[in-house]
């Protein structure tokens, strides 16, 4: 999952949201302003993800790391990601859907078309096949 966050989030998901944010800022500056520095948040999330991945790598390789330190990092990672996703799902994306025109979405999609989702895209990578199946099973259960 962390590998997916490190690759997909930073290489596709957040850059696409950055494009959406730029369009939203042009179409509805007040709505965009409600999210503060979304691009900065994405940079901070990328750094937090790298720090958590490094900490997890150390734990898995049985390197000494204070339990409290790692636990705090893990809680911070989950807290920040959940808050970020909630804000996007409940506020940012609905605001963008209201403000952006069809041509905005087409231009964003065209700009992002060279990149693909390694987990849920039509050509999902084999290394993510099991993870994809697990995520889809969780979604069906919930």
Cα 14 to Cα 49: distance, rounded to the nearest angstrom: 13
Predicted TM-score (pTM) of the model is: 0.71
Distance of CA 45 to the CA centre of its chain: 8
pLDDT number for residue 142: 66
Give residue 15's pLDDT. 86
Specify whether the CB–CB gap between 119 and 132 falls below 8 A.
yes
The pLDDT score that the predictor gives to residue 36 is 77
Provide block-wise average pLDDT over 10 residues at a time, the chain (142 residues). Answer: 77 87 93 83 90 91 87 94 88 94 92 65 62 76 74
State whether residue 126 is helix, strand or coil: helix
């Amino acid at each position: 999952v962390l590998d997916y966050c490190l690759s997909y989030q930073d290489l596709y998901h957040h850059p696409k949201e950055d494009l959406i944010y730029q369009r939203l800022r042009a179409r509805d500056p007040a709505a965009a302003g409600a999210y503060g520095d979304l691009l900065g948040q994405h940079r901070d999330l990328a750094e937090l993800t790298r720090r958590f991945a490094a900490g997890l790598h150390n734990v898995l390789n049985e390197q000494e790391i204070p339990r409290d330190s790692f636990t705090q990092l893990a809680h911070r990672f989950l807290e920040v990601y959940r808050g970020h996703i909630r804000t996007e799902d409940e506020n940012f994306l609905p605001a963008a859907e209201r403000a952006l025109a069809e041509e905005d979405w087409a231009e964003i999609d065209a700009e992002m078309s060279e990149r693909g989702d390694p987990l849920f895209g039509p050509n999902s990578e084999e290394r993510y096949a099991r993870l994809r199946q697990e995520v889809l099973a969780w979604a069906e259960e919930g």
